[in-house]
A and B are shown apart, each in its own frame.
Chain A
Amino acid sequence: MPQKLVIIGNGMAPGRALERLFESAPGAYDVTIFNAEPRVNYDRIMLSPVLSGEKSFEEIVIHGDGWYVKHGVMLYKGVPVTKIDTAAKQVFGTNGISAEYDKLIIATGSVPIIIPVPGHKLAGVLTYRDLDDVQAMLLAAKARGKAVVIGGGLLGLEAAAGLAEQGMDVTVLHLAPTLMERQLDPTAGALLAAELESRGIRVITNANTKEILGEGRVRGVLLADGTELPADLVVMAVGIRPNSALAKEAGLPVNRGIVVDAQMRSADPDVFALGECAEVMGQTYGLVAPLYEMANVLAAQLAGDVEACFTPTATATKLKVTGINLFSAGDFADGPDRQEIVLRDASRGIYKRLVIKDDRIIGVVLYGDTADGAWFFDLLKKKEDISELRETLIFGPAYIGGANADPMAAVAALPPEAEICGCNGVCKGKITGAIEGGLKSLDDVRAHTKASASCGSCTGLVEQLLKLTLGDDYNPTAVQPMCGCTHLGHDDVRRLIVAKELKSIPVLMQALEWKSSAGCAKCRPALNYYLLATWPGEYKDDSQSRFINERVHANIQKDGTYSVVPRMWGGMTSAKELRAIADVVEKFAIPAVKVTGGQRIDMLGVKKENLPAVWADLNAAGMVSGHAYGKALRTVKTCVGTDWCRFGTQDSTGLGMKIEKFMWGSWTPAKVKMAVSGCPRNCSEATCKDVGVICVDSGYDIHFAGAAGLDIKGTELLGHVETEDEAIVVIAALVQMYREQGRYLERIYKWAKRVGIGTVRAQVMDDAGRRRELYERFVFSQKFSQDDPWAERVKGRDAHEFAAMKDLSVLEGAR
C-alpha cells in the first residue's frame, strides 16, 4: 500500500527529489503537489535566457505534463497552500482543495526581498523570481523605455542584460562599491562593469535608493545623494529570503529558514523541508547545486536510506549573460596569511586570480577565460597541495609538465572526481562511466547523468569528454548537420577544409564521406563558398554549385526574367550614368525601373538572353555589377556628410565610396549591407546594417551586427577610431573574421550572437596583431575577386548560360 506524499511547491528541488525517488523506490508513494504557480516544473536558472530572448519557455520546461501523468502525480497548478495541520496530517489549499499526507515536503522556495522605500508598490515596480516576472518585464520592454535595476548581484545583472537585449535603456544601481562583491573581487567586478557599460548598460555603484517616484505608476528613482533617474520600469533584485511563513504558522521551528537536520527533517518527523526555504545546520542556500544535493538526500531518506545526510560543499558561480565569461569559487578576500597569483591579459580582456593559503587554493576568480574553472575548483575542493605546480598553475592544466597544445588536454588532465556540472553535481568519472556504458551523444549524457542539463554552461566540457572517451566514434548529434548529405555541421566542415587541406568539392566529399554522390542544393553552394573563402586564388569557383543569381550575376524574378542593378558607389550617381540607364531601359524595353532600399537603381524584367547586351551598354558608361544578387558586399549607403549637410561631421559619402571600392566583389557567408552616416542623426540608417559607421567630431564609431529584415535589431558598437584609414582596416578585419567563421547564409548579427560580441571586439578592436592578420588576409583575397563579372561575360565567358541550345520553334512552324 503506497504512502501518501504531499509536496508544497513545484520548483527544481522537489522535481529532482521526485526523479530520484521514482528511480529508487517506484510505486512507494502516491504523490500530490500543490504549485502556487499555474504551470509545470521548469528550469528557473534559465529564466535569464528567456528574458533575453535566447530561449522560449518550452525549452526550459523540466517536466512536461506527460511526466506527471506517467508517474501518477496529482499536480494542482495555481493552487497555493494556505494552511498545514500537522496534528491531522492534512494541508489545505485555495478553492477548498485539501489533501492528507503520511509524509509532507515543504518546498516553498524563497521570496524576493522588497526594499520598503516609498513608492515600492507603484505599478511598474517588479521583482525577478518566476516566469510571471519575466513576462511582465518582456511586456514592459516592448515600449523600449528606460529601466532601472536595483541590485548588481547575479540576478540583477542577468535581468539588466536581458532587458538591454530587449531594447531597453538600462541602469543598474548597486549599493556596494563593486558589482557582485560576494562572488567577485574588486578587479573582476570593475572589468564586468566596464563590459556592461560597453553594451550600453549604465552601472552606478555606491547607489543608495531613497525613493521610487511616480503617481500610480513609476516614473523614476531618487537616490540618497539627490540624483534622479527617469524610469518606466524598476526591477528589484536585491536578494531573496526563505519563504517559511507557512511552516511558522504550522508551529514548526523557523529561524531564517525552516529548521531541518542533515536528513532534511523538521521538528515534526513526518515533515521535511527542501530547497531555498530550508535551513540546514544553520545555513540557507540559493544556488542550484546544494539544493539538488538536498533533493538527493531527501529522496534517499524517503526511499529508506537512513544513512543519507547533507554535507555542505563549496559552490562555484557563473554569470549567464551571453558573451561574458565569469567564474568564481571559494574565498578571495585579501589577508596577511594569503598569497595570490594573478594573470592579466588586457588586450584579450582576461583576468585570473588564485588565492592561496598554506599551499592550497582557497579562492578562484576567472574573468574572460573560464575554461580552466573546473580544474581549479577541483583543486580547491580537494584542498590539494599545489606547491609543485605553482610556477605554471595559473596557466591551467594544459601547461602542467610542459606546454601542450592539445585543447582537450585540460579535460583529459582532470581526475575522475572533478566536478564537471556544478548545477547537478556531476563529476567527470560519472560522465565517462556512463559514456563507456554505451552513451553516444550529448543528449544521451544529459538524459542519463543530468550533466549540462540545467544552465548548460558546461556543455563544451561534456562534449570534450564524449570525444575523449569515444574517440572517432563520437558523432556530435548536438551539431546540426549541414544537410542530409553529411552528419557534419558547418563549423566542422570549415575546420576540416583547413585541417585536411581540402581544395575541391569532389575531394571534400570523398574525404568527409559525403552520403550522396554529388551533394544537394543546400550543401553545394555552402561548400563552394567555404572553399573559395579558405583558399583564395587556389580554389576554382564551381559555377554549377552556385545559386542561379550568382551564376548569371542577376536576380531571377518570379516569371524567370532577371533584374539588373549596377553599382553606384556610396549611392552617388551622375547625369551620364542616369542617361545610360535610361537608354538601356528603352533599348531593351525593360518593363520596370525602381529605386532600391540600398540607394541603387534596379531594372526589372530583363530577358536572360539580353543580359550580356544590357551589361555591355552599362559597362560602356562606366558602370559595373552591383552584386545585388550575391552573398557578398551589397551596398554602402551614405548621407551627404560634410559635402552638403550643415550637421555633417565627416565626409561620410567619401568614406562610403572608399569602403565600397575597397570591399566590392568579396564573397561572404550571407549578404552584407553597410552604411555611413555623417553625424549621429544617422540619415543613412547605419545602426540597423550589418556594418555601420557613425561619424562624430572625434572620428568614427564603428557599429555592426544590426538587422532590418526578418529580424529587427539595432547594431552593437564595435569601437571608435580616429581616421578613415583605421575605420577601413577595422571593417575589413571584421568582415574577414565573419568570412572565416560565419556559416553559409548566416548573417553577421547571427554569427556575432553565436560567437559573442565580446569575442569579435576582442579580436578586431583590442588585439592589434590579430586585426592586422585578418586585414591582410582580406586584402589578399580581394586580389582575386575584383574583376567585374559583367565585363567578363560581355567578353564571352559562360556564353552557354545566356543562349538557347537550339531553337526548334522555327522548324516546327515550317513543318
Chain B
Amino acid sequence: MSGWIDIGALDEIPVQGARVVKTARGCIAVFRPCAESAFALDDKCPHKAGPLSQGIVHGNAVTCPLHNWVISLETGLAQGADEGMVKTYPLRVAGGRLLLSLADCAKREAA
C-alpha cells in the first residue's frame, strides 16, 4: 500500500480556511492557506488542546481560537514566545485531489 489516502478535493476547503478529517486517533486539521497549498496537522493546540481547524488562517500559520497561540502550518511549531509543537502529516496535492499519509504513525503503532 502506497500509504497515500485520497481525502477529497482541494476545492472543498475554502481559501484561508480548514476542514477536519476524522481518524481513530482523533481529528486531523487540513488547512488551505492559499489557493494552491495545503497542510495537515493534528487538530489540537499544544497549549490547551484547542481545535486549530477553527482558527483564523493567515500566511502559513493559524491562530488558535481559544487563547491565540500562533502555530506554523509548515513545521507545527508554536510561534513567538510560546513553546510547543503540533504533529504534522505528509500531504500532497495531485490533480486537485488531496492525498494524506498516515504511514509513519501506523509504523510507530506497529512497532
Contact = CB atoms under 8 A, between A and B. Distances in A.
B6 to A, nearest CB: 8
A48 interface: no
Interface in A796-815: 800, 804-809, 811-813
B17 to A, nearest CB: 5
B15 interface: yes
A814 B59 CA distance: 37
B72 interface: no
A195 B96 CA distance: 67
B63 A521 contact: yes
Interface string A503-522: 00000000000001111110
A518 B56 CA distance: 11
Given A806-B8, A808-B7, A547 B56 contact: yes
A525 B17 CA distance: 14
B48 A808 contact: no
Nearest to B14: A544
B58 A556 contact: no
A494 interface: no
A516 B21 contact: no
A521 B58 CA distance: 7
Contact of A809 (B8, B14, B24, B55): B24
A619 B63 CA distance: 32
B58 A804 contact: no
A556 B24 CA distance: 23
A600 interface: no
Interface string B35-51: 00000000000001111
B55 A521 contact: yes
Interface in A544-572: 544-548, 552, 556, 558, 560
Contact of A804 (B27, B65, B70): B27
Contacts of A813: 24
A308 to B, nearest CB: 53
A203 B51 CA distance: 58
A800 B7 contact: no
B20 interface: yes
A808 B24 CA distance: 7
Contact of A547 (B22, B58, B65): B65
B78 interface: no
A800 B70 contact: no
Interface of B: 5, 7-8, 12-17, 19-24, 27, 30, 33-34, 48-51, 54-59, 63, 65-66, 68, 70, 102
A808 to B, nearest CB: 5
Which of A521, A543, A545, A546: most chain B Cβ within 10 A? Answer: A521
Interface in A55-113: none
Contacts of B50: 560
Q: Which of B22, B34, B50 has the most CB of A within 10 A?
A: B22
B65 A805 contact: no
A634 interface: no
A440 interface: no
B68 A521 contact: yes
Nearest to A562: B54
B22 A808 contact: yes
A811 B102 CA distance: 12
Contacts of B27: 804
A516 B57 CA distance: 13
Contacts of B24: 808-809, 812-813
B19 A804 contact: yes
A524 interface: yes
A640 to B, nearest CB: 38
A805 B16 contact: no
Interface of A: 516-521, 524-525, 543-548, 552, 556, 558, 560, 800, 804-809, 811-813
Contacts of B30: 805
Nearest to A813: B24
Interface centre among A516, A560, A809 (most CB of B within 10 A): A560
Contacts of B23: 808-809, 812
Best-surrounded residue of B23, B27, B55, B63 (most CB of chain A within 10 A): B23
Contacts of A558: 48, 66
7 contacts: A521-B68, A547-B56, A548-B56, A558-B48, A560-B54, A806-B22, A811-B5
Contact of B7 (A520, A546, A805): A805
A809 B25 CA distance: 8
A552 B65 CA distance: 12
Contacts of A518: 16, 33-34, 58-59
A800 B15 contact: no
Contact of B58 (A524, A560, A806, A811): A524
Given A518-B33, A548-B54, A808-B23, 19 more contacts: A520-B56, A520-B63, A543-B14, A544-B56, A545-B16, A545-B56, A547-B56, A556-B54, A558-B48, A800-B14, A800-B19, A805-B8, A805-B20, A805-B21, A805-B30, A808-B7, A809-B22, A809-B24, A813-B24
Contacts of A556: 51, 54, 65-66
Going nearest first, the 9 A-B pairs with the smallest beta carbon separation are A521-B63, A805-B19, A544-B16, A521-B56, A548-B54, A560-B51, A806-B7, A807-B22, A548-B65
A558 B66 CA distance: 7
B108 to A, nearest CB: 14
B94 to A, nearest CB: 16
Nearest to A551: B54
Given A524-B58, A806-B8, A544 B20 contact: no
A806 B7 CA distance: 6
Could you say which of A546, A558, A804 has the most chain B C-beta atoms within 10 Å of its C-beta?
A: A804
- Interface hub of B8, B19, B48, B56 (most chain A Cβ within 10 A): B56
A813 B25 CA distance: 11
A218 to B, nearest CB: 50
Among B24, B34, B102, the most chain A Cβ lie within 10 Å of the Cβ of: B24
Contacts of A519: 58
Contact of B22 (A517, A800, A804): A804
Contact of B15 (A525, A544, A804): A544
Contact of B17 (A516, A521, A544, A806): A544
Nearest to A525: B56
A544 B31 CA distance: 12
Contacts of B59: 516-518, 520
B55 A548 contact: yes
A519 to B, nearest CB: 6
Nearest to B54: A548
Contacts of A552: 54
A403 B3 CA distance: 76
Contacts of A811: 5
A661 B23 CA distance: 44
B8 A520 contact: no
Given A524-B56, A548-B54, A800 B13 contact: yes
Nearest to A505: B16
Contacts of A809: 22-24
A801 to B, nearest CB: 8
A516 B16 CA distance: 14
Contacts of B21: 804-808
A122 to B, nearest CB: 53
B1 to A, nearest CB: 9
A702 to B, nearest CB: 36
Nearest to A552: B54
A800 to B, nearest CB: 6
Contact of A808 (B5, B49, B58, B63): B5
